[in-house]
């Protein structure tokens, strides 16, 4: 039952994130859910900086963590060092970093540092891209089952990250007029993301790969968009969207 509840929570969160018109990632909500899912003590979103959750867990350590991440993490964090050395951006935890890539001394030093930073010495990283990742930590290593859960969640979160990127690019290009047109025809953020990629010349299969969803799901979003725009095919959709200011004119 608990697993079913967790699944429902992630499905609900994903649905919310796809429907939101926010210009930034809902990092706090994702961090919170990851921490709850893995029974962790803290989480972080790493991009150009690091966003920690819960904030009170790291009170008094935030500046130290930020400096270390900016200056030393590339060489001294076992998982990041592994990513950089191998180019293998799969889900990874500290306890599984190969010693032929990262020495036991580096791993040991990190475990001690993580202990001092609130008991996050054993971490699991879920990369979204080569520069963005969610990380959660706790005192004990993650089990094989939890690593499998992490791999499923990485795919979900990476897909949401790509959706957010496509939607954000559309929003910036469309401006106020584009938003007004979107409201008039009732297109959802997901439909707008798919439509914007269609306008770039991507096929349904390519859009599916970009957003990490099935081609069938892409076609479903396109059909909804065609109906709302009053057209029957991709060319008609793009031309109609350009005429009403939903997409920039070619």
Specify whether 60 is located in the same domain as 128: yes
> How far is Cα 99 from Cα 110, in angstroms, rounded to an integer?
14
> How far is Cα 185 from Cα 29, in angstroms, rounded to an integer?
30
Question: Is 206 inside any structural domain?
Answer: yes
CA angle 236, 239, 242 (to 5 degrees): 145
Per-residue pLDDT band for 203 (boundaries 50, 70, 90) equals very high
Question: Is 38 inside any structural domain?
Answer: yes
> How far is Cα 27 from Cα 33, in angstroms, rounded to an integer?
10
Specify whether 136 is located in the same domain as 168: no
Question: Is 151 inside any structural domain?
Answer: no
pLDDT in tens, 87-111: 999 999 999 999 999 999 999 999 9
pTM: 0.91
Per-residue pLDDT band for 60 (boundaries 50, 70, 90) equals confident
Q: How much of the chain, in percent, has pLDDT values that exceed 90?
A: 85
- Domain residues for 75? 25-142
Question: Is 201 inside any structural domain?
Answer: yes
Specify whether 135 is located in the same domain as 29: yes
Question: Is 232 inside any structural domain?
Answer: yes
Question: Is 103 inside any structural domain?
Answer: yes
Specify whether 37 is located in the same domain as 97: yes
Q: Based on the structure, what is the number of domains in the chain?
A: 2
Specify whether 76 is located in the same domain as 114: yes
Domain boundary among 142, 171, 194: 142
Where residue 130 sits, what CATH number does that domain have?
3.30.450
């Amino acid at each position: 039952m608990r697993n079913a509840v967790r699944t429902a929570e992630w499905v609900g969160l994903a649905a919310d994130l796809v429907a939101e018109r926010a210009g930034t990632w809902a990092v706090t909500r994702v961090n919170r859910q990851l921490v709850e899912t893995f029974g962790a003590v803290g989480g972080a979103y790493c991009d150009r900086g690091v966003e920690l959750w819960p904030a009170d867990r790291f009170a008094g350590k935030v500046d130290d963590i930020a400096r270390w991440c900016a200056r030393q993490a590339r060489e001294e964090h076992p998982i990041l060092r592994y990513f950089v050395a191998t180019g293998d951006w799969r889900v990874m935890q500290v306890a599984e970093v190969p010693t032929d890539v990262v020495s036991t001394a580096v791993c040991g030093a990190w475990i001690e540092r993580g202990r001092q930073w609130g008991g996050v010495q054993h971490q699991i990283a879920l990369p979204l891209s080569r520069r963005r990742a969610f990380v959660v930590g706790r005192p004990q290593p993650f089990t094989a089952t939890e690593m499998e859960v992490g791999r499923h969640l990485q795919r979900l979160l990476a897909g949401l990250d790509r959706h957010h990127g496509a939607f954000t690019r559309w929003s910036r290009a469309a401006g106020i007029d584009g938003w007004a047109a979107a409201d008039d025809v009732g297109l959802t953020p997901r439909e707008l993301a798919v439509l914007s990629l269609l306008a770039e010349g991507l096929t349904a299969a390519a859009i599916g790969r970009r957003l990490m969803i099935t081609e069938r799901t892409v076609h479903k979003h396109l059909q909804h968009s065609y109906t709302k725009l009053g057209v029957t095919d991709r060319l008609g959709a793009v031309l109609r969207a350009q005429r009403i200011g939903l997409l920039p004119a070619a």
